[in-house]
Amino acid sequence: MPTLLKIDSSPMGETSVSRKLTAEFAKTWIKAHPNGTVISRDLTTLNIPVINGDWVAAAYTPEDARTAEQKKVLAVSDLLIAELQKADEYVLGIPMHNFSIPSTLKLWIDQIVRIGKTIAYSATGAEGLLKGKKATLLLASGGVYEQGSGREAFNFVTPYLRTIFGFMGITDVHFIAAGGTQKLMTGEVDPQTFLAPSLERVHAQASL
């Protein structure tokens, strides 16, 4: 039974563009996988802790030697990693914040990139342990950063996410960017017209 993990990180609720795209992706995906399961994770409501020295010490302590306190420190990380391991496919909604990813998404990344769980080190270097998974990353930004826009260098979202997913072994990563959402705020374009090209790509990707 295939499982999709849907992750949202926009704080903008109903008005969020990235949330509209992830919702539509999940709706289309479940039609294409009628016996599938969707796990939904909203990073804005989980209160993900910032990693600290205790977290790092716990993560580097062998599992069977961890104290009860260390197990508690890693509980959120365990939960989020279990979701990644269970799912075959991921869809993430990502708003651009200050040319980068939202802080909640960075907190999630810090919890899931973990030695022995999602990455391993050997004599030959680092190896990602989430091999064979597929990810679709749905980006929303006020401005446009596509090739040819002249603003590609301001986009730290795409290269960072490609790198960190690849680091965990996830190399089948597909990006769909809904750039220019500021036009929605100024009323230059209506939501339906603005979303149409992104939704078309979302439907095609979710049906694969």
Ligand X SMILES: Cc1cc2nc3c(=O)[nH]c(=O)nc-3n(C[C@H](O)[C@H](O)[C@H](O)COP(=O)(O)O)c2cc1C
Question: Which residue ranges make up the site for ligand X (CB under 6 A)?
Answer: 10, 12, 16-19, 95-99, 140-143, 181
Whole-number Å distance between alpha carbons of 30 and 125: 38
Is 122 or 192 the residue whose CB approaches ligand X more closely? Answer: 192
In angstroms, give the least distance from the CB of 137 to ligand X: 12
Is 98 or 147 the residue whose CB approaches ligand X more closely? Answer: 98
In angstroms, give the least distance from the CB of 41 to ligand X: 15
In angstroms, give the least distance from the CB of 22 to ligand X: 9
Is 10 or 205 the residue whose CB approaches ligand X more closely? Answer: 10
In angstroms, give the least distance from the CB of 181 to ligand X: 3
Among the listed residues 202, 142, 184, 182, the one whose alpha carbon sits nearest the alpha carbon of residue 6: 202
Torsion, Cα 94 24 38 113, to 10 degrees, reads: -10
Is 102 or 128 the residue whose CB approaches ligand X more closely? Answer: 102
Cβ–Cβ < 8 Å for 140, 94: yes
In angstroms, give the least distance from the CB of 108 to ligand X: 16
In angstroms, give the least distance from the CB of 63 to ligand X: 37
Is 19 or 201 the residue whose CB approaches ligand X more closely? Answer: 19
Is 77 or 155 the residue whose CB approaches ligand X more closely? Answer: 155
Whole-number Å distance between alpha carbons of 113 and 109: 6
